[in-house]
A and B are shown apart, each in its own frame.
Chain A
Amino acid sequence: MAVIKVTGETFENEVVKSTVPVLIDFYADWCGPCKMLRHTVDAIAEERSDIKVVSINVDDESDLAEQFEIFSIPCLVIMKDGKEANRTVGLQSKDSILSLL
């Protein structure tokens, strides 16, 4: 599956109510490392049908960024049953991301 772009409006349905774990990619268009990490996030979304992968633009969705207390990007947050289960900041290898799931 492709990465789903989530907004404040769709967050509840796509993330909180998801029945499968959700990997959230918090990013910004001006952030180089975010763009690099996105290649890896895309690959994970393609390979793993058992999870949902979404992205949140911290500039457009500042309320969500604030709610998650995002102060460094790229930041990946893993949600399970609507709650944060894990997070990681900065560039990561695919394996280290998968190990968080």
Chain B
Amino acid sequence: MTYDIIIVGAGPAGLTAAIYARRASKSVLVLEAKAYGGQIINTPDIENYPVEAHISGFEFATKLYEQTVALGAEIKLEKVTEVKDGEAAKTVVTTKGEYTCRAVILATGSENRKLGVDGEDALVGRGISYCATCDGAFYRKKTVAVVGGGNTALEDALYLADLAEKVYLIHRRDSFRGEDATVERLKAKGNVEFVLNSNVTKLNAGKRLESVEVTDKAGDVKTLVVNGLFVAVGRIPENQNFAQLIDLDGAGYAVSGEDCITKLPWIFVAGDNRTKNVRQLVTATADGAVAATAAVKYLNEQA
């Protein structure tokens, strides 16, 4: 069958788009590479989503998934590798097969940006982590470093300061992009040492990470003995497979306004993978609604 809409990505944006599309009586297939829920499943406690004062990311994702399935959306765990234009129907290619549809919503989100230092991949799970709330507990009373300068890095450092004996916060500049209030809270902690104007240039490891080498702007090198390194240097939008079809900005985000439309009338973008100022749960779900409504309007005009 040819679906009305195929949605790529089952995070909050993609699943909300599915809800809106189903309520407009469109047939919907959601394709997801790993697991539904997206990035929010890493969050232990969501405190800024309207109505629920506290909800875990897992519970949020599960409720959203159940709501989407109950409305009749199909969800398959397959990674999308390509989207192809066509006269009669558009084709979405996955690692397992091909599906056809009339409109596509890209809600692929983003993945962790890596440090790009030799040996990084091999040390994931052996000292290197991209999720402080997942792995912080393994570093109780140990020495860790956080690298990054945004809110995620600052919040990770704050979270780890309560668990670890010592936390180094490594940042390539001397000021932070993240919130001043969090920086002040970090300064008030007795066990957080700021390592500024510095980059991680080498990872020293045996079986596990043993120390990191940092180089400052002046070229001075110093070695920090750590048990763990938490990498929080930003995220990369997952648009690589669609670069031939839609416009991406320099950082790889799909170029779009709040209307979620792209240069192609049948492709829409929703959530963290598009250009926008505020990447939050509530703006992701809002995008889902906007993109699906626009897709439904497009389909109805074609009919």
Are B35 and A40 in contact, CB atoms less than 8 angstroms apart? yes
Question: Which of B17-25, B125-133, B216-224, B294-302 forms contacts with chain A?
Answer: B125-133
Complex alpha-carbon distance, A87 and B207, angstroms: 14
Indicate which residue in A32, A69, A94 contacts B43 across the interface (CB closer than 8 Å). Answer: A32
Chain A residues with CB under 8 A of B35: 33, 36-37, 39-40, 91
**A16 located at the interface, meaning its Cβ lies under 8 Å from any Cβ of chain B in the complex:** no
Interface positions of B from 114 to 146, Cβ below 8 Å from A: 124-127, 129, 131, 134-135, 137-139
Complex alpha-carbon distance, A94 and B33, angstroms: 9
Apart from A32-B37, A36-B35, A71-B139, what 7 extra A-B contacts exist at CB < 8 Å? Answer: A32-B44, A32-B134, A33-B131, A37-B35, A39-B35, A71-B208, A72-B135
> What is the distance, in angstroms, from B75's C-beta to the closest C-beta of chain A?
12
**A7 located at the interface, meaning its Cβ lies under 8 Å from any Cβ of chain B in the complex:** no
Are A95 and B95 in contact, CB atoms less than 8 angstroms apart? yes
Chain B residues with CB under 8 A of A101: none
Indicate which residue in A37, A40, A71 contacts B125 across the interface (CB closer than 8 Å). Answer: A71
Chain B residues with CB under 8 A of A39: 35
Count contacts on B: residues with CB < 8 A to the other chain: 30
> What is the distance, in angstroms, from B139's C-beta to the closest C-beta of chain A?
8
Closest residue on chain A to residue B228 by CB atoms: A71
CB contacts between A and B, total, < 8 Å: 73
Residues 12-33 of A, flagged 1 when their CB comes within 8 A of B and 0 if not, give: 0000000000000000101111
**A57 located at the interface, meaning its Cβ lies under 8 Å from any Cβ of chain B in the complex:** no
Closest residue on chain A to residue B57 by CB atoms: A32
26 A/B residue pairs, CB under 8 Å, sorted by A: A32-B44, A32-B57, A32-B61, A32-B134, A33-B41, A35-B58, A36-B35, A36-B37, A36-B58, A36-B61, A58-B138, A70-B125, A71-B126, A71-B139, A72-B124, A72-B125, A72-B129, A72-B131, A72-B134, A89-B125, A90-B124, A91-B34, A92-B34, A93-B34, A93-B77, A93-B79
Chain A residues with CB under 8 A of B131: 33, 72
Chain B residues with CB under 8 A of A90: 124-125
Contacts A39-B35, A90-B124, A93-B34 known; A70 to B56 CB distance under 8 Å? no
**B42 located at the interface, meaning its Cβ lies under 8 Å from any Cβ of chain A in the complex:** yes
User: Residues on A close to B: CB < 8 A?
Assistant: 28, 30-33, 35-37, 39-40, 58-59, 65, 69-73, 75, 87, 89-95
> What is the distance, in angstroms, from A44's C-beta to the closest C-beta of chain B?
12
Complex alpha-carbon distance, A82 and B41, angstroms: 33
Chain B residues with CB under 8 A of A93: 33-34, 77, 79
> What is the distance, in angstroms, from A83's C-beta to the closest C-beta of chain B?
16
Contacts A39-B35, A71-B138 known; A32 to B58 CB distance under 8 Å? yes
Closest residue on chain B to residue A33 by CB atoms: B41
Residues 18-51 of B, flagged 1 when their CB comes within 8 A of A and 0 if not, give: 0000000000000001111100011110000000
Chain B residues with CB under 8 A of A94: 77
Chain B residues with CB under 8 A of A40: 35, 77
Indicate which residue in A28, A31, A69, A89 contacts B124 across the interface (CB closer than 8 Å). Answer: A89
Complex alpha-carbon distance, A94 and B41, angstroms: 18
> What is the distance, in angstroms, from A64's C-beta to the closest C-beta of chain B?
13
Chain A residues with CB under 8 A of B124: 72, 89-90
Complex alpha-carbon distance, A40 and B43, angstroms: 20
Indicate which residue in A36, A65, A71, A95 contacts B41 across the interface (CB closer than 8 Å). Answer: A36
Are B134 and A33 in contact, CB atoms less than 8 angstroms apart? yes
Are B41 and A73 in contact, CB atoms less than 8 angstroms apart? no
Contacts A31-B134, A95-B95 known; A71 to B34 CB distance under 8 Å? no
Are A71 and B56 in contact, CB atoms less than 8 angstroms apart? no
Chain B residues with CB under 8 A of A32: 37, 41-44, 56-58, 61, 134
